Amino acid sequence: MALKKAKIVKKIPKMHTLIGTTARLGTDFNVPRSPMSPDQLIDLLPKSKQNMGLVFGRETTGLTNEEVQQCDFVVTIPTKREYQSLNLSHAVAILLYELYKHSGDVKPHEKVTMASEREKKQVIIMFKDVIGKLHFPTPTKKQTQLKVWKRIMGKSFLTKREAYALMGFFKQAKHALKKK
C-alpha cells in the first residue's frame, strides 16, 4: 500500500472502489450519509489489490452531498459527540492503518518469545530464595510477599528475555545477601 499516488484533486477520479469519509451522519432516509465504521468497511473489502481511492473532505466543510454520492462506501470514524470531526491528518492515519492491517502485509518487527512454564517456575524459585534471606517482622508478612509476587507473575505475560533478566537479578541479589 503506497501513498506515492496520493494527491489533492478538484474532481474525484474514476476508481475501482471509492471510499468517502464523513463526520456528518444522515438519517435512515439520507442513504448517502449512512456511513459504516472502519471495521465494517474492512469486512466488506476484498483482499485483492485493486484501484482504491480514499476521499477526504475539506477540514472546514467536509464532503458535499454530491461528492459523497460518487463513493461506493462511506465511512465514519466513531468519536465522542463533543468532538465529532477529526483533524484531517488523524482521519487519514486511522483509515490507512486499518487498510494496512487488512492488506495482510502486517509483520511484527521482531518475534517475541514468551517464557515457558518451567522458566516462570524458576523465577519464582529464585524469588523464594531471595525472600528467604530477607528479614520480615512476622512469617505471615513473608508469606504475603510470596503470594503477592506469585500473583504478579501469574498475571504477567512474561517474555523469555524478561524471565532471564529477573533470574539474573535474583542471582545477584542472593549473592549480595550472602555477603552481609
pLDDT at 84 over 60: yes
- Pairwise CA distance, residues 55 & 37, whole Å: 15
Whether 2 is in a domain gets the answer no
Q: What confidence tier does 67 reach under pLDDT thresholds 50, 70, 90?
A: confident
State the amino acid at position 145 in one-letter form.
Q
Whether 7 is in a domain gets the answer no
Whether 22 is in a domain gets the answer yes
| Residue-range definition of the domain harbouring residue 144 | 117-179
Both 94 and 49 in one domain: the answer is yes
Rg (alpha carbons) of the chain, rounded to whole number = 28
Both 24 and 46 in one domain: the answer is yes
- Pairwise CA distance, residues 26 & 81, whole Å: 15
**Domain edge (last residue) among 78, 103, 128:** 103
Whether 29 is in a domain gets the answer yes
More confident residue, 68 or 118: 118
Residue range 156-175, pLDDT digits in tens: 888 999 999 999 999 999 99
pLDDT confidence of residue 74: 87
Residue range 3-62, pLDDT digits in tens: 566 666 677 767 778 888 887 766 555 555 568 888 888 887 776 667 788 888 887 788
pLDDT confidence of residue 32: 53
CATH number of the domain where residue 32 is located? 3.40.1280.10
Whether 109 is in a domain gets the answer no
Query: Which residue has 439520507 as its cell numbers?
Result: 30
**Domain edge (last residue) among 103, 127, 149:** 103
Both 94 and 167 in one domain: the answer is no
**Domain edge (last residue) among 70, 103, 136:** 103
pLDDT confidence of residue 35: 80
Both 27 and 92 in one domain: the answer is yes
Both 68 and 138 in one domain: the answer is no
Q: Based on the structure, what is the number of domains in the chain? A: 2
Question: Three-state SS for 57?
Answer: coil
Q: Lowest mean pLDDT of 20-34, 96-110, 125-139, name the range.
A: 20-34
Both 129 and 172 in one domain: the answer is yes
Regarding pTM above 0.85, the answer is: no
